[in-house]
Each structure stands twice: as C-alpha cells, then as structure tokens.
Amino acid sequence: MSARTLPLLFLNLGGEMLYILDQRLRAQSIPGEKARKDEWTDVDRKRVMNDIITTMFNKKFMEELFKPQDLYSKKALRTVYDRLAHASIMRLNQASMDKLYDLMTMAFKYQVLLCPRPRDILLVTFNHLDAIKDFISDAPGILNQVDETFRRLMETYNCLSDGEFQLIRQTLLIFFQDMHIRVSIFLKDKVQNSNGRFVLPISGPVPWGTEVPGLIRIFNHKGVEVKRAEFTTAGNYVTPQREGSFELYGDRVLKLGTNMYSVTRPVETHMSGSSKNLASQAKENIAPNPLAKEELNFLARLLGGLDIQKPAGGETGFRLNLFTTDEEEEHAAQTRPEELSYKVINIEATQEPGRRAELSRILGEMEVAEPRPDSAEKGEDLLALMDGL
C-alpha cells in the first residue's frame, strides 16, 4: 500500500461532502426576512461552509495529514468526517450522517475507477479544491488556507512517478472494494447497476500520452519497425486534445471531481439491502481490531489540530436532514442494524494547551476498552469528548 494515499482520500471525500451539504443547505434555505429562528438562511449556509472548510484546511491538521502513513480503517476515517460535519452550527443525526458518508464514498470511488491514468487522480483532487475555493471566494483568509494545501499537494505529488501513482490508485481501490451502495443519481444516469456495481465505459478519450487502440506495430531486434497490423475495437476511442493543468490555476480538462450537484438534482441514495454487505460491515465493526490503539493514536494526531466552532452563547445548532422528509430519516435510523452502531470510547481530555502535544503519546500507551455499564449516563461519543483538544 502507498503511504501517500491518505491526503488524496481525505481531500476528495471532503470535497464531495461539501458539494452535498451545499446542495442540501441551498434546497432548505429560506429568505432571511421570512425565516423563523429554526429555519436555514443563506447566511447560515455560508457560515456552515466557511466553518467546515476552515476546520478542514487547518494548518496543523494538514501537516499531520501529509506525513507518510498507511490508510486506517473506514471506521477511523468516518470519525474524522463526523467531526468535520459538526464543525459549525449544523447538526446531523446518525441516519443523515450515514447517508452523507455513503454518497461521499461512492462518488469518489466512481471517480477513481474512471480516471484515464493513475496520475489523473491528482487532477480530480484539484477539481475538488477549485470548487471549494468557489465556496469561499469572499473569504480571503480561508482561501489562503486552501491555496497553501494546493501548493503542498503540488510539492508532494508532482514529483512522483507513474508507478507510484498506480500504487496510490490500487490502495484507493482496495479501500473501496467492498462498497456497493446504490445511489439514485448514478442509477438514473445508468452508470451503476442495481447491485451497486459501476458500469465502466468502453469509449471516449484515451489517457493523455497514449494512442487510440487499433494498430499493432512489430519491431525487429534493432528497434526498427518491420510490420503493421490493424484490428477492430469494440469502443469508439478518441485522442484527448490536451493534458489537464497541474498548476495552481488552469484548465483541468478532466471533469471528474467537479460538482455533480450544481444542477438541481435530488440528493438520494437507495441502500442495496444486501444481507451479504450488511454482514460484512457488521463483521468489521464487531470483530476485535488489533490496530485499535494505533487508530486511536492516528485520530488523536489528526483531530488534535482541529478547533471546532461551538455555537456562541445560548445559540443552538441547526439540524440538516439529507432525506426528503423527517419520516424517511426516522425510518432509516430505526432500520439501521444494531451491530453497525459506533461504540463509545471514553477518554479523559483536558483543555490545557500544554497537554495537547502530549495526547498522542498518552493515547499510545492506553488500552482501548469497552465502556462500563455504569458509564451509560456519560453517553457522549468520541467527537464530543475530543471537543476540548
């Protein structure tokens, strides 16, 4: 596995999360002068987007993220996005958060599968960052944070070989290989089958630097071409006009990673309901995890640099529903298998700044244990317990 995969996975999934949240917040926004206290306005939407992007591109967080390291479990990464989604006044219940994460992962999986060449995963990432910059175009301070990450990406990945990008792509595909969640947008566009597997095209532009298939050249031992043979292909291939730009500003050419929710479309996902998929997910959650301590240490390093914005004074968080109605959201929460619920890890955390730097070392020495029954009244999840970091 590649030790350079984590930043690309995090940034692309984060970009998809922002696309979905922006679309749903716009759909539920009420004009400011007409909105009640508990209803969303466009001002609230911008505040949520700014807060999440500020947290996502925190300098210390990015420094930890770009350190060479292996990917951790889906559960560990899911915890990071849980925290990011609640980095502002917005609140999602478990069913909506599940749906959000499903949409994020399936969208990026599709983009990785369709990348013409492994190096183009970087162009997909740049497309996400370009769109994120549009979200905060009127906030120069946050924009500078995103540009700094842009420069860090170019510095880290522009020098990698094609073989290293191939290893990154394989690492991403291994991460996504058991995810076959049906998404309405993909089903309507006929790019996903009813079993949740994607339909890959056999036509279109070939990767930059390659030729349209259909010609075989035969060379002798001196490297001189001595014979040619043509064959018929099943697809309709074309040569790309130009390569996408890997610079800070430029035409990426590749459209993968752009905002597919920019056109008014419902954000829906239909769970496949496959007992096989549920069983495999349940097994991952309930089986003993030998890397539990390392994953907790990993989360401590990542989350240690995040400063979460808490509602000021008596301000309460606004609830966002990713389902069409509250009844659908409630039904999804009730039908969620019990074994897929995230278990609580209780941590003694302090808000003293001097203690933050020691958290990784302390957690590395801790044993991860299940909470005692008498601690049920402290039913805070990991994200809430780490708010003081």
For the segment 192-229, what is each residue's pLDDT rounded down to a tens digit? 999 999 998 888 888 988 889 999 999 999 999 999 99
Which residue would you say has higher pLDDT here, 306 or 359?
306
Q: What percent of the chain has pLDDT over 70?
A: 65
Predicted confidence at residue 360, as pLDDT, reads: 37
Direct distance between the N- and C-terminal alpha carbons of the chain, in angstroms, rounded to an integer: 31
Q: How confident is the model at residue 42 (pLDDT cuts 50, 70, 90)?
A: confident
Distance separating alpha carbons of residues 175 and 173, to the nearest angstrom:
5
Predicted confidence at residue 86, as pLDDT, reads: 87
Least confident of 91-95, 151-155, 172-176, 265-269: 265-269
Question: What value does the mean pLDDT of the chain take?
Answer: 76
Q: Distances from the Cα of 147 to the Cαs of 48, 57, 127, 346, in angstroms?
A: 20, 10, 13, 36
For the segment 7-35, what is each residue's pLDDT rounded down to a tens digit? 999 999 999 999 999 998 888 776 656 66
**Residue 66 in this model has a pLDDT that exceeds 90:** yes
Predicted confidence at residue 8, as pLDDT, reads: 96
Please state the pTM of the whole predicted model.
0.72
- The domains of the chain are located at 5-200+245-262+294-309+316-340
Mean pLDDT, to the nearest integer, of 233-262? 89
Predicted confidence at residue 385, as pLDDT, reads: 30
Distance separating alpha carbons of residues 89 and 39, to the nearest angstrom:
12
Q: Where are the alpha helices (DSSP H) in the chain?
A: 6-28, 42-56, 59-65, 74-85, 94-114, 121-135, 140-157, 162-176, 184-188, 275-286, 292-303, 326-334, 353-356, 359-364, 382-385
Sequence-ordered list of residues with C-beta below 8 angstroms from that of 133, at least 6 positions apart, any chain: 143, 146, 147
Mean pLDDT, to the nearest integer, of 326-339? 59
Distance separating alpha carbons of residues 233 and 210, to the nearest angstrom:
15
Q: What percent of the chain has pLDDT over 90?
A: 41
Predicted confidence at residue 108, as pLDDT, reads: 97
What b/e sequence results for 281-292 when a residue is b if at least 16 CB atoms lie within 10 Å of its CB, and e otherwise?
beeebeeeeeeb
For the segment 82-128, what is each residue's pLDDT rounded down to a tens digit? 888 888 888 888 888 989 999 999 999 999 999 999 999 999 999 99
Predicted confidence at residue 261, as pLDDT, reads: 85
Q: How confident is the model at residue 142 (pLDDT cuts 50, 70, 90)?
A: very high
Q: Are strands 318-319 and 90-91 parallel, antiparallel or unpaired?
A: parallel
Predicted confidence at residue 317, as pLDDT, reads: 56
Q: How confident is the model at residue 298 (pLDDT cuts 50, 70, 90)?
A: low
